[in-house]
Amino acid sequence: MSIENLSSNKSFGGWHKQYSHQSDTLGCVMRFAIYLPPQVASGQKVPVVYWLSGLTCTDENFMQKAGAHRVAAELGIAIVAPDTSPRGDDVANDDGYDLGQGAGFYVNATKSPWNTHYRMYDYVLNELPALVESVFPVTDQRSVAGHSMGGHGALVLALRNPQTYQSVSAFSPISNPVSCPWGKKAFAAYLGNDTGRWAAYDASLLMRKAQKFVPALVDQGDADNFLAEQLRPDALEASAHISGYPLELNLREGYDHSYYFIASFIEDHLRFHGRHLER
């Protein structure tokens, strides 16, 4: 697998690097970022937390704003942050910020024109980890985390693939997309109007029926202006009670939807993943 290094920056004794590669899954050139902690310099292979970002983001938002490198360096954890969608002149797009490029929703689209490129679920689950594990000094131990649309993606990936991930966490996830405007718009475009197909990408519906569990941590700010209409953590919590799912959901007083919120609690999330990756 051929990849091109776009940038390298030393950070807390490790390295933050950006790469591009031709994605067979998405049919376009994709970019991702990786933070390699200092332990890899001595020949140690390290586990990986995959970070999925939200609407309008790229691989850069989390790496530059979250302040995650210090703790990742201490714990010996690599972080991989893919872009949020396929991109390019021949990739379908939309004038809205919540559909098209920058808004892949981590689904495998089945409706034209989106189904030509928009297969972010398969990309994050299969192609990107295979590439990372073949090129970098990492183990096959994985956890997954994300914010907003990416929190939705992280939860869905872990709930559908409990054998693949050691743990999952999310900030302000779109917890019940079949019941919110963002989810309805994206799912109708990408998956069609058969709402039965939507359930496969709804964390609350999946958690309600879960039988195999991946430890889950969710943080939500109570001053988030998207809380009531778009995010619905109450639906996720209700589902966890029904299935007995090991969900820790924290409602954080005064915090909003921004990266100030993520930066405030990212250490808790990385230490949570670190405990489970050590097992």
pLDDT in tens, the chain (279 residues): 689 999 999 999 999 999 999 999 999 999 999 999 999 999 999 999 999 999 999 999 999 999 999 999 999 999 999 999 999 999 999 999 999 999 999 999 999 999 999 999 999 999 999 999 999 999 999 999 999 999 999 999 999 999 999 999 999 999 999 999 999 999 999 999 999 999 999 999 999 999 999 999 999 999 999 999 999 999 999 999 999 999 999 999 999 999 999 999 999 999 999 999 986
- Report the residue count for the chain: 279
Handedness of CA 206, 211, 213, 219 (dihedral sign): positive
Would you please indicate which residues are annotated as catalytic (active-site) residues? 148, 224, 257
